[in-house]
């Protein structure tokens, strides 16, 4: 299907485990983003990528790792999950960074860390 997809949609894991959240887009957008959504905080940027093999930190990058070997995929890894990483994670993509380029969001992954 065309668009931006995330998998899994729901994930429960335990403290200390490694978890990878997947994001895939079919538009060949250059930019991809990972946000986390927490009550009272809205969405906060974790990492973003301007192109394959180019990534940069956002507002809350600690505890997360990203990679982008292909334009269409942007996985987010929690190397050792903590309870504070329980959140809803959204992936987004856009043609460019400036405000004239709309960001398109995936449906989200709800992650619970026990």
Partner 1 sequence: AQSVTQPDIHITVSEGASLELRCNYSYGATPYLFWYVQSPGQGLQLLLKYFSGDTLVQGIKGFEAEFKRSQSSFNLRKPSVHWSDAAEYFCASEDSSYKLIFGSGTRLLVRP
Contacts to partner 1 by CB under 8 A? 4, 35, 40-45, 48, 58, 90, 92, 97-100, 102-103, 105-108
Min dist CB 71 to partner 1, Å, is 19
4-20 b/e (C-beta count within 10 Å ≥ 16 → b): bebeeeebebeeeeebe
Contact 39, 75 (CB under 8 A): no
Min dist CB 82 to partner 1, Å, is 22
Q: Which is nearer to partner 1, 69 or 100 (CB)?
A: 100
Min dist CB 94 to partner 1, Å, is 10
Contact 28, 13 (CB under 8 A): no
């Amino acid at each position: 299907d065309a668009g931006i997809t995330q998998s899994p949609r729901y994930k429960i894991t335990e403290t200390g485990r490694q978890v990878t959240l997947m994001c895939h887009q079919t538009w060949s957008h250059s930019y991809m983003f990972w946000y986390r959504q927490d009550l009272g905080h809205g969405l906060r940027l974790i990492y973003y990528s301007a192109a394959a093999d180019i990534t940069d930190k956002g507002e809350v990058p600690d505890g997360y790792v990203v990679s982008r070997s292909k334009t269409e995929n942007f996985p987010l890894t929690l190397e050792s999950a903590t309870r504070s990483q329980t959140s809803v994670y959204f992936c987004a993509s856009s043609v460019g960074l400036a405000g004239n380029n709309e960001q398109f969001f995936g449906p989200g992954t709800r992650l619970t860390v026990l």
